[in-house]
Amino acid sequence: MQIAFTGPRQLTKAQEHEICKDFAYFISNHTADWHVGDALGLDDFVRRAAGYYNKQLTVYEVEGKQKWHFAARSKRMIDAIADLENPWLYAFPNKPCPNGCKPCKSPNGGGSGTWLTIAYAKYRGVQIYLFPLFETKFGDRSWMPEWLTDEPTHEQLSLF
């Protein structure tokens, strides 16, 4: 199993606490190699957690300072695991998906590197598990973009 991670570049103490619980109860129990970027926030958290949980870790470094360099880093990470056995992206979005963000070869994350990575992973066929860091109601999936739901959309057909 290969697990890539994506999430915000800044975490509040409350978000770190929630992420710690997710790692302790769910994520750390998988026999998997971990993949993450070199940014602050969630990336830094994962790099520290990998040592704590004794996980094999691959870190993807950004190769410049322009916005597209950061997108390229995320795409390299997803490309590295997409064709391996049992690839997953564990995503920790801190806001709903921006309008216009959708799976494609060059997604527009609308300023959100996390959602850009999620969209690209969907495009590449990587399985995705979401850990939203914003307020949601139990069972409410209305905040998820349609392209992430596994259920087909239903349309009322006209009789005439």
Domains of the chain: 2-148 (3.40.50)
User: How much is the pLDDT for 155?
Assistant: 43
Q: Which residues contact 93 (CB under 8 A, 6 or more apart)?
A: 7, 8, 112, 114, 115, 118, 130, 132, 133, 134
Give the rounded percent of residues in the chain with a pLDDT score beyond 70.
93
Quote the CA–CA distance of 33 and 73 in Å, as a whole number. 18
**Residue pLDDT, tens place only, 41-93:** 999 999 999 999 999 999 999 999 888 999 999 999 999 999 999 999 999 99
Burial category of 101 from C-beta neighbours within 10 Å (exposed 0-12, middle 13-18, buried 19 and up): buried
Q: How confident is the model at residue 156 (pLDDT cuts 50, 70, 90)?
A: very low
Q: Is the pLDDT of residue 152 over 60?
A: no
Tokens standing for 27? 């994520």
Q: In the prediction, which pLDDT does 41 show? A: 97
Q: How far is Cα of residue 58 from the mean position of the Cα atoms in its chain?
A: 16
**pLDDT for the residue numbered 124:** 97
Q: What is the mean pLDDT of residues 109-124?
A: 95
| 135/40 Cα distance (integer angstroms) | 22
- The percent helix, strand, coil of the chain (3-state, each to 5) is 35, 15, 50
pLDDT of residue 150: 65
